Amino acid sequence: MKNVLITGGSRGIGKACAYAFSKEGYRVFLNYNKSEEEAEKIKNDIGAIPIKADISDVEQIKKMYDFIHKNYGKIDVLVNNAGISQVKMFTDITEKDWDNMFNVNVKGMFFVTKEFVKDMISAKEGKIINISSMWGVTGGSCEVHYSAAKAAVIGFTKSLAKELGPSGITVNCVSPGVIDTDMNGHLSQEDIEELNEDTPIGRMGKAEEVADAVLFLASSDFITGEVLNVNGGIVI
């Protein structure tokens, strides 16, 4: 049985990934931070193994690694999905906002990957899939810190793909457009209609549609360093 670790698996895109990987026969390790009830529900539904850890805290990540490594061995697929967003004018972004954004979206991905890649390198196989955003590709107004962090995810993906290719490990990234999850709960009906109009497919994406792309990247041994847009055509 192959092992997948999904960070931020308790809600939204991560949760959809948990169900998708479970359907494909993977043992799912479901990292979460605050949403314990949601994580328990997914455990009951699909037998996922929930692990509470704030990915921005290196000690909690080391504990998560030790638990998985000692009891189950190596992770075959790592999905670096956990993330936060914030909409703010650039001039209103504080140092704390900036640090928080980078601590979770970039440093967290770095901490988690650094722990779990060790076993992948020893085994000379593994798949790492990072979740960026279309704003990391194009830049989003009033989301400078989010866009900068998501652009960093792309740079991280491409560099690591080059470095780890010789070790048999692929590193890719999915770049979602506007997906119907809690992260977009702040959007008004009017905002949603405007976004739908700007999207050739004419609607928001579903978390399951992003999970399909993640699963696809996990199935390939020859795609690496790629940024796969899943956005209904809003950015082409």
Q: Which residues bind ligand NAP (CB under 6 A)?
A: 7-8, 10-14, 31-35, 54-56, 81-85, 104, 108, 131, 133, 176, 178-179, 181-184
Tell me the C-alpha distance between 137 and 148, whole Å.
Answer: 9
CA distances from 4 to 81, 139, 160, 179 (A): 12, 30, 19, 23
Task: Report the residue number, 171 or 222, with the smaller CB distance to ligand NAP.
Answer: 171
Closest separation in Å from C-beta 114 to ligand NAP: 15
The backbone torsions φ and ψ at residue 49, rounded to the nearest 5 degrees and listed phi first, read: -105, 105
Tell me the C-alpha distance between 132 and 118, whole Å.
Answer: 23
Task: Report the residue number, 8 or 126, with the smaller CB distance to ligand NAP.
Answer: 8
Angle separating helix axes 144-164 and 95-102, nearest 10 degrees:
30
Closest separation in Å from C-beta 104 to ligand NAP: 5
- Coil, strand, or helix at residue 85? coil
Enzyme catalytic residues = 146
Task: Report the residue number, 9 or 126, with the smaller CB distance to ligand NAP.
Answer: 9
Distance of CA 59 to the CA centre of its chain: 20
Task: Report the residue number, 125 or 180, with the smaller CB distance to ligand NAP.
Answer: 180
What letter does residue 109 receive in the DSSP assignment?
A: H
Structural contact between residues 85 and 176, judged by C-beta atoms closer than 8 angstroms = no
Task: Report the residue number, 56 or 170, with the smaller CB distance to ligand NAP.
Answer: 56
Nearest of 134, 22, 36 to residue 85 by alpha carbon: 134
Question: Tokens for 195?
Answer: 């976004």
Closest separation in Å from C-beta 189 to ligand NAP: 16
Closest separation in Å from C-beta 230 to ligand NAP: 9
Closest separation in Å from C-beta 180 to ligand NAP: 7
The β-bridge partners of 227 are 173
